[in-house]
Amino acid sequence: MANVLVNAPKTAKKGDTVEIKALIMHPMETGFRPGANGRIIPRNIVEEFSATWNGREVFRMKMSPAIAANPFVSFFTAATESGTIVLRWSGDEGFVAEHRIAITVT
């Protein structure tokens, strides 16, 4: 399991805007760099990051090789209902990581 650091509120008022910040450990190898042996190191990046709130997608982004290692993503969404926000990263070499956030909306 990849190392993930997430900063999100535990509670929110209905209709409020909440900020979710997520940091994940990943080399984001571009696929353009030669290694110590002179051969190109194969590309290994996170291709997609998405967030679903009780199954409904609220955020999605495509990542590119130009994004630095250990990508940090921050986004805003409206608090709708109590439940679980699932953050999901997927990428090259079968990389998948998930992080669940429980949030109470009042």
Partner 1 sequence: MIRLRLAVALAGVFCASLAVAQATDPRRSGYLEMGPALQKMQDDDTANPAMLFVQAGAATWAEKVGTAGKSCADCHGDAAVSMRGVAARYPAVTPPLDRPVDLGRRINLCRTTHQQAPALEAEGNDLLALSAFVTLQSRGLPIAPPEDSKLAAMQAQGADLYKRRQGQLNLSCASCHDDNAGRKLAGATIPQAHPTGYPIYRLEWQALGSLKRRLRNCLVGMRAEPWEEGAAEYLALEAYLMDRARGMPLDAPGVRP
Contact residues for partner 1, defined by CB under 8 A? 3, 5-7, 21, 23-25, 28, 68-70, 72
* Three-state secondary structure of 20-86: EEEEECCCCECCCCECCCCCECCCECEEEEEEEECCEEEEEEECCCCCCCCCEEEEEEECCCCEEEE
Shortest distance, position 72 Cβ to partner 1, whole Å: 6
Query: Residue 1 or residue 39: which is nearer to partner 1 going by CB?
Result: 1
Shortest distance, position 24 Cβ to partner 1, whole Å: 8
Shortest distance, position 12 Cβ to partner 1, whole Å: 17
